[in-house]
Chains A and B, each alone.
Chain A
Amino acid sequence: MNIPLRQWLDRLFTSLAMLSVLLIVAAMIGILLPMVWRGGSAVVFRGTVEFRRMQLEQFNRGDSAAVRAEAEDAARIRQHAYEILDRFAAGLDTSELETKVKQLHREFGVQLANREIPQKQLSELRSVSKELRDELLKAFEAEDKTQVLEHLDAVMSHSGDERLKGTVAAEFFDLARQYRDTVANVDLRRRSEYADSLKQVKDAMRSLFGPRPGERLPALPIEQYGSTRWDQAKQNLDKLLWAESWTGSGEGQTLTKSRIPREEQFAGTALAGLFPYVRDNIQGMLRPKWTFYWQYFTDDSMSGHYFGGVGPEILGTLLITMFAIAFSLPVGVVTAAYLVECAGDGWLTRILRMCVNTLAGVPSIVFGLFGLAFFVIYLQPKLGLPGSSSIIAGSLTLGLLVLPVIIRASEEAIRTVPQAYKEASLALGASRFRCFMSVTLPVATPGILTGLILSMSRAAGETAPILFTAAVAMGPIPTSLSQPTRTLSYSSYDMAVGDKMAMLAPHNQFGMVMTLVAIVLLLNIAAIVVRGRMSKKLRGQ
C-alpha cells in the first residue's frame, strides 16, 4: 500500500471514530438534557400561593401568617370572578329561583295568617300571591324570550298593589326585575349548551383556584388545592379561556379539533366579563414565585404522587440496591476466586462457566417470577415471615440478577492479576489462601469494583425483579426488612401505567426518573472515585 492511501485510510478511520464518539455524546445529551430539564422542574419551578398553602397545611412549612395574608389577598381578587360566575349561573340555572319563589309564597301565607285582616281580603291576597308565584314559575320555565317577558309583565302589573307593600310578597317584584335583566342578556334557547360549557368553566376555575371559599373541604388533599405550579396554572387557564370541541364534517369523516375562545362562546352574556378578568388578574390570583423545592428529595408523596416528593422512593431504592450488593458481592467474588484459582479447567468448570453466562442473559422478569415463587411464597413462610413482598426478598432477587455480572467482572479482575505477584507471594512461603487474600484480592479490587458499579446501576434501575417481590406503589415507609417498599423505578412505572397521575403531574414522573438517574450516577461516581484511589495506590502514586 502506498503512503498517501494509508494516510487517507488513517484519516478515514480517525474521522469515523470521532463521528461515533460524537454520536454517543449527542445521544447522551439528547436523552439526558431534556430529562434533567423536565425533571428539574419538579424541584425548581414557579410555585403559586396554592403551593405555599399546601406546604403550610400538609407539611407545616413556611411562614404561617405571611401565607395566610397572601391567600387572603388572592381570594379578594378571585372573589370578583366568582361573583360574575354566580350572576350568570343564576340566570341559567332557575331551579334555585323556583324554590325561592315557592318559599316566598309560603312565607307570605304565614305572614298573612298572623295579621288581623278580614277573611275575604285574606283569600284575595292569597290568590294574588298564588298567581304571582305561578306567573314567575312559568317565566322561569319558558324558553322563548317574549313569553318570558309576557309572564314577567303579568307579575309586574301587580307591583302597584298597595296591599302588598311592605310584605314578603314585594320580593316577587325584585325577582321579576332581576330575571328580566338576566333574560335581556342571555339567549335562553342556548341554555343547555351554556350549561355544559359552564360546567367546564366551573371545573377549570376549580382546578385553578381550588374549592371556593366557604365550600366544604374535600377529603382528598389532591382536591383541596388549586394549581400549585405556574405551568399547571397556565394549562388550566387555557382550559378556562378556550373551549375545545371535536367536530365532524360528515359521516365517516375524521373529527377535527376546534378551539374557540370562551369569551366568544359566551358573548353577550354576563359571563363574558369573567374571561378577560381572570386573564388579566391571574398573576394576582395565584401569585407565582420561583420556588426551590429541595424537600422534593425527602418529602413523602401524597395522593399518589400528586403532591410531595420522592423521599421514601429514594430510601427504598438505596436499601434494595445496597442489600442486593451486600448479598451478591461476597458470593460473586468467592465464586470468581474459585473459578480462577481452584477450579482448573475440567468439564464441570466449563458447565459452571456456561451457567454463569446463561444466567447473565436471563430476562429480568424471569428473575422476578422466580423471586416471587421461591423467596416470597416458599422461603418467607418457612422463616416465619409473611408470604408477601418484602425488601429482603427483592434484594435477594436483585442480588441473583446481578450475580453473573459480578462473577464475570471479578473473574476477569482476578485472572489479570500479574502472575509475578502471585509467584512472589508463594515464593515467600504464603499458602494459596494467604496469597489470594493478601496479594491477589487487593490487586484485583479495582476490577471487581468495575463489576460492582455495573451491577449497582442495574440493581437500582431494575423494575421487573422487584415487581412481585419488593415494590409497592403506595404505602408506609418500611420499618423492617420484611416489609415492602416504594422504589423509584417501580413508582415511575406505576405512575406511567397505573393511573392518570403521570398526565396530571408530569413533573413528578420526570423528577422521579431524574432522581433515579442521579442516584445511579452518584453511586457510579463514588465507586469510580474509590476505584481511582485504589489503583493510584496500587500504581504507587
Chain B
Amino acid sequence: MAKDGSQGMSALLEPIALANRSTITLAEDIRADNETLSPVRHNDVMPAIIRAEKFCLYYGVKAGVKDINMDIFPQSVTAIIGPSGCGKSTFLRSINRMNDLIPNVRSEGTLYVNGVNVYDGRINLVNLRQQVGMVFQKPNPFPKSIYDNVAYGPRLQGIRGGRLDDMVETCLKDAAIWEEVKDLLGKSALALSGGQQQRLCIARALATRPKVLLMDEPCSALDPIATSKIEELIVGLKNAYTIVIVTHNMQQAARISDCTAFFCMGELIEYDATNIIFTKPSRKQTEDYVTGRFS
C-alpha cells in the first residue's frame, strides 16, 4: 500500500498501487541506489513524486531517451534544459504517456508517478492524465468559449452546475487571468492574445486538479511581457503543484526553477539544484552548455 499519503491518486490507481512492491523511496534510499540522481541531499525525508528508473523510450529502433534515473520532488519547479533533440520533451511527455499517440513507441524501465508505475499495462490513462496536467509549447485552447475551455476537464469528471462555475473562476484566478477575461467568458478563446491563451491553457490544465503540471516550453511562442507573466504564475503555482518545465531559455530556468536537469543526446547528464547547475556544475558538458560554449 502506498505510504505517501496521496490518497486521491492511490484511490484512483488502487490495483496498480497494490501491485508495486516499494512505491515510495526516501531520498536516503535514492542516494543509496547510486544510479538515481537526486539534487535534494539536505532533506532526507522528502518523497519524490516522479521517479524514473532506468527509463528508456524508443521511437521504433531509435532511442528518444535512454536510461534515465531521476527523482522529481513535490512542490517544486524542476527545469529540464538541453540542446534541441536531446529528449527533454520526450521525457516530459513520457510522464503522462502522451507519447502513446505516436505509433511504434516502446518503453523500457519504470516511471513512477506518485508511486505508481505509469507504464504498467493496467494503468488508467484517463486518471493518470487528470493527475498529471500538461501545458504545450504552442497555446492550444479549443475553439470554444473561454468558459468551455476551462470547464472541459471538470466536465469529463462529471462536474456540472454551480460547482463548475466556481471551479472555472478559481482556476482562472489561479492562472492569473481572471481579471482579464471575467467579462468575456462566453467569447471564443481564440480571440485572446497568445500570452492570455497560454495562461488559459494553464487554467484549463489546473481545472482537472492535477498533482503535477508538465510544461513543454510554455513561453517559446510568447513575447517577453507575456513570458514574464507566465513565469510569475509558475512561481506562484509552485506551492500547490509540482511543476516540470522544459525550456530552451536558460535564464528562465535559472529564474524560476528549484532544480535543473541537463539532458543531452537522450541521456540525463546532470541533475542538481538550479544554483549548482548554473554556478558550479560537476560535468564539463553541463558547464559548456550553460555558459554557451556548447557546440
B59 CB → nearest A CB, Å: 16
The residue of chain B having its C-beta at the shortest distance from the C-beta of A435 within the complex is B156
Whether a CB of chain B sits under 8 angstroms from the CB of A434 is yes
Whether a CB of chain A sits under 8 angstroms from the CB of B238 is no
Whether a CB of chain A sits under 8 angstroms from the CB of B204 is yes
CB<8 Å pairs between A and B, sample of 15: A420-B136, A420-B140, A426-B98, A426-B101, A427-B96, A427-B98, A428-B152, A428-B156, A428-B205, A429-B157, A430-B126, A442-B143, A442-B144, A539-B188, A540-B189
B138 surroundings in chain A (CB, below 8 A): 420
Stretch at the interface among B38-46, B127-135, B224-232: B127-135
A426–B143 contact, CB under 8 A?
Answer: no
A430 surroundings in chain B (CB, below 8 A): 126, 152, 156
- Residue interface mask A417-437, B partner, CB < 8 A = 1: 011111111111111001000
Q: A541 to B192, alpha carbons, bound, how many Å?
A: 11
Which residues of A (429-463) have their CB < 8 Å from a CB of B? 429-431, 434, 438-439, 442-443
**Among the listed B103, B130, B152, B187, which residue makes an inter-chain contact with A425, where contact means beta carbons less than 8 Å apart?**
B152
Q: A281 to B17, alpha carbons, bound, how many Å?
A: 104
With A427-B133, A428-B133 known to touch, is A438 a contact of B152 (CB < 8 Å)?
A: yes
A434–B156 contact, CB under 8 A?
Answer: yes
The residue in A427, A431, A537, A541 that gathers the most chain B C-beta atoms within 10 A of its C-beta is: A427
Whether a CB of chain B sits under 8 angstroms from the CB of A538 is yes
B141 surroundings in chain A (CB, below 8 A): 424
Which residues of B (180-194) have their CB < 8 Å from a CB of A? 187-191
The residue in B101, B103, B207 that gathers the most chain A C-beta atoms within 10 A of its C-beta is: B101
A320 CB → nearest B CB, Å: 35
Further contacts, 11 of them, CB under 8 A, given A429-B208, A434-B156, A540-B189: A420-B138, A423-B140, A425-B142, A426-B129, A427-B136, A427-B205, A428-B129, A428-B130, A428-B152, A428-B153, A429-B129
B187 surroundings in chain A (CB, below 8 A): 540
The residue of chain A having its C-beta at the shortest distance from the C-beta of B190 within the complex is A540
Whether a CB of chain A sits under 8 angstroms from the CB of B201 is yes
A423–B133 contact, CB under 8 A?
Answer: no
**Among the listed A422, A427, A429, A537, which residue makes an inter-chain contact with B143, where contact means beta carbons less than 8 Å apart?**
A537
Which residues of B (214-228) have their CB < 8 Å from a CB of A? none
A426 surroundings in chain B (CB, below 8 A): 98, 101, 129
A443 surroundings in chain B (CB, below 8 A): 143
A interface, CB within 8 angstroms of B: 344, 418-431, 434, 438-439, 442-443, 537-541
A541 surroundings in chain B (CB, below 8 A): 188, 191
B103 surroundings in chain A (CB, below 8 A): 344
B interface, CB within 8 angstroms of A: 96, 98, 101, 103, 126-130, 133-134, 136, 138, 140-144, 152-153, 156-157, 187-191, 201, 204-205, 207-208
B98 surroundings in chain A (CB, below 8 A): 423, 426-427
The residue of chain A having its C-beta at the shortest distance from the C-beta of B191 within the complex is A540
A540–B143 contact, CB under 8 A?
Answer: yes
A418 surroundings in chain B (CB, below 8 A): 140
A421–B189 contact, CB under 8 A?
Answer: no
B143–A539 contact, CB under 8 A?
Answer: yes
With A429-B127, A429-B129, A438-B152 known to touch, is A424 a contact of B142 (CB < 8 Å)?
A: yes
A493 CB → nearest B CB, Å: 45
B126–A431 contact, CB under 8 A?
Answer: yes
B129–A424 contact, CB under 8 A?
Answer: no
The residue in A418, A428, A537 that gathers the most chain B C-beta atoms within 10 A of its C-beta is: A428
A430 CB → nearest B CB, Å: 5
B127–A428 contact, CB under 8 A?
Answer: no
B205–A421 contact, CB under 8 A?
Answer: no
A539 surroundings in chain B (CB, below 8 A): 143, 188, 190
The residue of chain A having its C-beta at the shortest distance from the C-beta of B188 within the complex is A540
Q: A420 to B189, alpha carbons, bound, how many Å?
A: 15
B238 CB → nearest A CB, Å: 20
B101 surroundings in chain A (CB, below 8 A): 419, 422-423, 426
B140–A537 contact, CB under 8 A?
Answer: no
The residue of chain A having its C-beta at the shortest distance from the C-beta of B155 within the complex is A438
The residue of chain B having its C-beta at the shortest distance from the C-beta of A439 within the complex is B142
B126 surroundings in chain A (CB, below 8 A): 429-431
Q: A431 to B152, alpha carbons, bound, how many Å?
A: 12
The residue of chain B having its C-beta at the shortest distance from the C-beta of A431 within the complex is B126
B156–A429 contact, CB under 8 A?
Answer: yes
A350 CB → nearest B CB, Å: 16
B201 surroundings in chain A (CB, below 8 A): 424
Q: A539 to B192, alpha carbons, bound, how many Å?
A: 11
A424 surroundings in chain B (CB, below 8 A): 136, 140-142, 201, 204
B208 surroundings in chain A (CB, below 8 A): 428-429
Q: A425 to B134, alpha carbons, bound, how many Å?
A: 10
A448 CB → nearest B CB, Å: 15
A429 surroundings in chain B (CB, below 8 A): 126-130, 153, 156-157, 208
B143–A538 contact, CB under 8 A?
Answer: yes
- Of all A-B residue pairs in the complex, the 4 with the closest CB atoms, nearest first, are A540-B190, A540-B188, A429-B130, A420-B140
A420 surroundings in chain B (CB, below 8 A): 136, 138, 140
The residue of chain A having its C-beta at the shortest distance from the C-beta of B187 within the complex is A540
The residue of chain B having its C-beta at the shortest distance from the C-beta of A539 within the complex is B190
